[in-house]
Every structure is written in structure tokens, then in C-alpha cells.
Copies of this chain bind each other. A is one copy, B any other.
Amino acid sequence: MTTQQISYFLALADELHYWQTSYKLNITQSALSRQIKALEEELNIELFTRSSRKVELTSAGSFLQKQWKPLLEKIYSTVDYAKKINKGEGGTIVINHPGSIAYDVIPDLLTRVSHSYPNVKVELVQVKGAEELELIKNFRGDVIYSRHLYETDFLESKQVNTDNLSLVLPEKHVIRKEADIVRKVLQQQRFILPNLQPNDSYSETILRFFKSYKTTPEVCFVSDFGSTILSLVQGGLGISIMPHSFSHTHHPGVRFLPIPFSISLYAYWRKEEENALVRNIVQFI
């Protein structure tokens, strides 16, 4: 059983067509046909039922398709990570973070990293929700900053900071101070907010704010990119809610008015990390 055979199998299980699959895999139909047959014979399992016109997965084949797809991905990702370990300190580390900390926490960290490890390449990615956990589980990411509090047994974590939320307003907006924030005024506003998702602490905190005024926001634009939101607010297209730390960007024509809601930021990394570089960089968090 080879990883090649497994990926051939997965490809055919997707396409259910020998010629088409073999074309995509850059091999001949004959080679594919034989490899599948070899796999079936080695495992002593019928994977496909095939007539000269139709290819279908057997139930055992369908089971293996579902099981092997993530397994093969995991094998490859461990290999990639082992390569990184093998190369040593000149390697790359992958940091996932919410856009909102791109202006303070991340530059801070990167400054320290590049000072101590000038040759290290840092890759920044922004995924969210369940995908962040997949990222660090599959060794595709090394450090994760998240607003969400995870309780797992394979990660170590540290609370990095707690940040106030602020209303983000155009310079000349009618809301001037906290006392101006009342139900009636909020209901007249149009909001530019990030994608609000269930089970996401950040989203939930924002919703708690509106709930405290017994209202729901009228959302006119949705964006997950801080700078986009700031520009839209500046253009008078609506108001927003963002972590107060965004005010450090000094975006012109925009005011930040703190509200009594705050969100925490956590950093996560793998327990018993094998990559010495990652272990060292975690020290800087």
C-alpha cells in the first residue's frame, strides 16, 4: 500500500471515471486501473463496482474514502512539518491572528522575533472559527491568536491582553460622548460589522452590546477587514464597533468612543512542541 495508491484511490472515488481521473493524475488509464486493482487485491476489499460503463463506490470504498482523506492529509502535513524541523532555525513559522491585532500585538511580536532570529521567515494567516484549531492540529500553523477561549488538552495558552471595544464614528457624528449612546439613537444607525458568527466570542460580545440596549443592529455592510471598515466609516456609510486598539492606526476622519465591553485575546501553541524555533518564539508572547 503506497500513499500514491491511496491518493489514486481518493481521486477515482471523487471522479468515478477511470479515463478522466487518469488524465488528471497524469498517468494512463491502464496504470490507474492496475493500481486500483493492486490495492483491492492487497487489502482484499472490493473498493468499486465497475461495469464497462459505470464505476461506483462500494460501501467499504465509501467508508475508506471518508476515513482516508483526512488521514492522508495528516500524513502529508506531518511530513511538511518534519521538513521544517529538519531545516532548523532558518525555518518559517506560521502565525494565525484576527485582523484586529495587526496593528499592535503582531508588530510587537515580529519586532522581537526578527531581532533575535533575523533569518526566520514569519507567515501570517487569518482564518477563524473551527479552522484555526485544524490549522494548529495539522501543523499548518504554529501559533494562534484568537479571541476565543479554547479548552483543549493538546494546546498551551496564555491570555495576551484584554481590549476595550469602541464605537467607531465619523468625525462629525451626532454621538459625541458615552451618554449619547441611547436606544433611540442606536436604532437610527446603520452598522458596518464583521461577519457575526455563532460560537464566536467576538461576535457574541458585539451582540451583547446591542442586547444591553434592547435592540439589534441594522447591518448595511459586512467586512472582516479593519481598514475597509475604517474607510467606510470615514466615508459616512455607517458606524462600527471595533477593538479600541485600532485607534492606534490614526485613521483620519474617524473617532473611537470606548464602550464598556471588552474582549480578551489568547495565544495558543502546541503542548510539547518539537520545533525548537517555535518553542523559542513562544517565549516572546
Tell me the A1-40 residues at the B interface (CB within 8 Å): 1-4
Contact with B along A38-56 (1 / 0, CB 8 A): 0000011110000000000
> Quick check: A58 and B71 within 8 Å, CB to CB?
no
Closest to A87 in B: B60
Q: Is the C-beta of A114 less than 8 angstroms from some C-beta in chain B?
A: no
Interface size on A, residues (CB 8 A): 31
Query: A-side binding surface: helix, strand, loop or mixed?
Result: helix
Q: B79–A43 contact, CB under 8 A? A: yes
Q: Which residue of B lies closest to A59 (CB)?
A: B85
How far apart are A65's CB and chain B's nearest CB, in angstroms?
10
A254 to B150, CA, bound (A): 50
Q: Report the Cα distance A21→B130, complex, angstroms.
A: 42
B residues less than 8 Å from A63 (CB atoms) = 78, 81-82, 85, 274-275
Q: Is A83 an interface residue (CB 8 A)?
A: yes
9 residue pairs, one from A and one from B, having the closest CB atoms: A60-B86, A63-B274, A67-B78, A60-B82, A60-B85, A1-B3, A2-B2, A45-B86, A64-B82
